[in-house]
Chains A and B, each alone.
Chain A
Amino acid sequence: MLYREAGQFKTSYSADQAMLTIPLDRWFVFALAAFAIVGVPLLASEYLMVSILLPVLILSIAALGLNILTGYCGQLSLGTGAFMAAGAYLAYKIATNITWLPIWVVIPLAGLCAAAIGIAFGLPSLRIKGFYLAVATLAAQFFLLWLFVKVPWFVNDSISGVPPAPPRTVFGFQVTGAAAGDEAKYLFVLAFVIVLAWIARNLARSRIGRSWMAIRDMDIAAELVGIRPLPTKLSAFAISSFYCGVAGALWAMCYINSVEPTAFDINRSFQVLFMVIVGGLGSVLGSFLGAAFIFLLPIFLNSAPGWFGYSVASDTITHIEFMLFGVLIIFFLIVEPHGLARLWQIAKEKLRLWPFPY
């Protein structure tokens, strides 16, 4: 009753092809976006905005990227961290060497560089599949990080090797580096998230998205119906790496304010993979839910005892955090193997029938 689709007729093709066809869904998404743009900067504290929402939003972009590759196209990748690093280092390189280029151009440009690298490392996917492909992408992870640390050119021969994010402005507001205002930083990242999520959602239901899914479900059958595996797989690698590159650039420029190799190590790749698995493979919403779950749950578990006034030794909390985190992941995977996005879908089905379930 609360959530009704009955009696909603579409009278034009454009209405039928809209991204969100159910008005309730549409209003909800618009309201959420409006709240994120207007409400959050007005209401949220600095800690909530910069330490919680900012990293979750950035990691959502990375999860979206991996979801395109793994969730939609079925190519398992462990190189997410490396593609993020590519975005971060090249964004730094471009921003510091072409100083007149506005930062909102620099970051997509860095994403494009990451996409090119992604294509190169995606080439083996034509021959190898499944776990073997995962190992091949693992090579990207180690090689690229080694390269960025090894070649001082990427960091402008900085002696320390960890250059700070250059301060850049958009509309006169500083958005990168530590001196940037919290709201400006947050809105800058949010703009990327909204645009990229919108693109991802549309890609997934377009011809290219459908060909990815065909390859994922059965590549031989897909070939037989006329989908060429080479451009399909490589486009997935390219677009996925683009998303990861943008996420990496934002992570370095807006969140940790320095370009640092350990931020993009193998653990980052696994973290993003878990986000996609827990959130829901092949789902845009799942990428957001997964990113929030994997990033926030440890922090929630870590700070929860403090809210109740319990003082527990910090290492004990962390050990409990590890255990609970592991248990919760297993719990969610058993209760709902299709991820949090599926839980949301089930909730919607329930609301459709409420209050008269059968």
Chain B
Amino acid sequence: MLTKKLVMAGVAAAIAAGAIGVAQAEEGQFIPALTYRTGPFAPGGIPTANGYVDYFHLINERDGGVNGVKFIVEECEYGYKTDRGVECYDRLKDKHGGATAVSPYSTGTTYALIDKATADKIPILSMGYGRTSAADGRVFPYVFNFPATYWSQATAVIQYIANEMGGLEALKGQRFAFIFLDHPYGKEPIPTFDILAEKFGFTYDKYPVPFATGTEQKSVWLQIRRTKPAYIIMWGWGVMNATAVKEAANIKFDMSKFIGNWWSASEQDVLPAGDGAIGYKGATFNGAGTDYKVFEDMEGMSGLSDDGDRGTVLYNRGMVNAAYIVEAVRLAQEKYGKGKRVTGEQVRWAFENLDLTAEDIEGLGLTGLMPPTKVTCLNHEGTNPAILIQQWNGKGWDIITDWIPAMSDVVRPLIEQDAAQYAKDNNITPRDCS
């Protein structure tokens, strides 16, 4: 009885204290960080979150924020669960004077937030994931997915294969394999591949890997062994990637003909396969490693994460994500008042008018890490080349190509068609961008 009473009293006290203890509101540019450092996708979530948070810390410490306005970053752990992600967003969005921009790093949560964030006037920067057709800025004013979308990436991968084989004509009659997570994310590029297959005369076999059992791929690889595809393209995430790379090594598939998308080509995907993974290729839009000027500034700085993942593909991607937001805030301040906090709506304007040239990026010390990009009202994907191809050498990733452009003539009509359908379903009148 006594224990029960104590527990009850404790709970009551906790609730009472919670009601009184209102957190002090700091002034600054607020960044809600929706992260997943726990759960099945934590291997990808931790480095991404670290890079994202560390970059804001770096800007605060090194530059004193943007024109004196410091960033306040608050993390909310949601474990890659859509409903918890939505809850986190709602919990954080009004704190510290309102959120600047949100990057959920989950396709499911991004979809759930598109309408919500639009209603709240908070821009979403879903960098290379989420809803591809959000690239049509007329229908999705608050959603940005530069530097490139899945569909652009798919066409660029095919372009790369064509370059390797000696031109687009060489694709004719070829047989490829496409391994994907059986989930909306994995299925996104299929319509694009279908169009390309028809256009260039190749065929491809689809191998879905179930969401629940990403590690059971024996049958997939048996079939691949039998059909001997010229190239394998993979759209995976989480533990599925490492398994696929291992299985490919087991059947002695030529790893240089196995290409992962940008969520299937980071260190944790290749390390489990050991030397067997050498030669595996992946798409990327950000550089890997620590040979960039920005990392010199981070050397010895206190308050940064210490998980030892600095320089990995996903850590650097998290940094690039933060860097885009920082530059958007800088641009918004130039228009709406230097040294003042900017609102989500103002940052949205800045995203839409973002034009980062190679010189700008040089000035930030991010050359090679972050692609130059130019966003317009019409094109939220950014007018820029889509991907680089990187290859695993057993210790790190080497970037082996120059920027490979997307086939925009194929992708853009698809984007506009899907966006128009969305607009119709949701009674949205597309903005006039001219």
Contacts and interface: CB of A to CB of B under 8 A. Distances in A.
A54 to B, nearest CB: 10
B224 to A, nearest CB: 21
A257 B425 contact: no
Contact of A265 (B17, B75, B211): B211
Nearest to A331: B7
A164 B425 contact: yes
Interface in A301-355: 302-304, 306-309, 313-315, 317-319, 322, 335
B427 interface: yes
B112 A304 contact: no
Interface in A18-50: 46-47, 50
Interface string B97-128: 00000000001100110111011000000000
A145 to B, nearest CB: 9
Interface in A239-273: 255-258, 260-263, 265-267
A263 B82 contact: yes
A52 B158 CA distance: 46
Given A149-B183, A167-B426, A262-B183, A160 B116 contact: no
Contact of B418 (A159, A257, A258, A313): A159
Q: Give the bracket for the number of chain B residues in contact with chain A.
A: 35 or more
A257 B115 contact: yes
B83 A335 contact: no
Contacts of B4: 335
B425 A265 contact: no
Question: Which of B21, B87, B132, B414 lies at the interface centre, i.e. has the most chain A CB atoms within 10 A of its CB?
Answer: B87
B82 A260 contact: yes
B115 A179 contact: yes
A161 interface: yes
Interface stretch (B184-192, B241-249, B361-369): B184-192
A178 B118 contact: yes
A304 B75 contact: no
Given A262-B183, A307-B21, A166 B425 contact: yes
Given A158-B421, A309-B23, A51 B86 contact: yes
Contacts of B22: 307
Contacts of B90: 46-47, 50-51
A87 interface: no
Contacts of B17: 307-308
Contacts of B112: 256-258, 260
Given A51-B87, A159-B414, A256-B86, A164 B111 contact: yes
Nearest to B134: A160
B289 interface: no
B212 interface: yes
A161 B187 contact: yes
Given A47-B91, A263-B108, A304 B212 contact: no
Contacts of B48: none
B215 to A, nearest CB: 16
B21 A308 contact: yes
Contacts of A122: none
A15 interface: no
B76 interface: yes
Contacts of B165: none
B312 interface: no
Contacts of A335: 4
B133 interface: yes
A178 B111 contact: no
A229 interface: no
B91 A160 contact: no
Given A158-B421, A167-B427, A308-B18, A262 B82 contact: yes
B183 A256 contact: no
B21 A309 contact: yes
Given A51-B87, A164-B114, A335-B4, A319 B132 contact: no
Interface string B393-421: 00000000000000000000010001001
B426 A177 contact: yes
A256 B82 contact: yes
A59 to B, nearest CB: 9
B423 to A, nearest CB: 11
A262 B17 CA distance: 36
Ranked 7 nearest A-B pairs via Cβ:
A178-B115, A315-B37, A161-B184, A314-B75, A51-B90, A314-B77, A307-B18
Given A307-B18, A322-B38, 10 more contacts: A55-B83, A159-B191, A160-B133, A162-B108, A164-B422, A178-B119, A258-B114, A267-B81, A299-B87, A315-B38
Interface of B: 4, 14, 17-18, 21-24, 35, 37-38, 46, 75-77, 79, 81-84, 86-87, 90-91, 94, 107-108, 111-112, 114-116, 118-119, 131-133, 182-184, 187-188, 191, 210-212, 414, 418, 421-422, 425-427
6 contacts: A47-B90, A52-B87, A164-B426, A179-B115, A255-B83, A262-B211
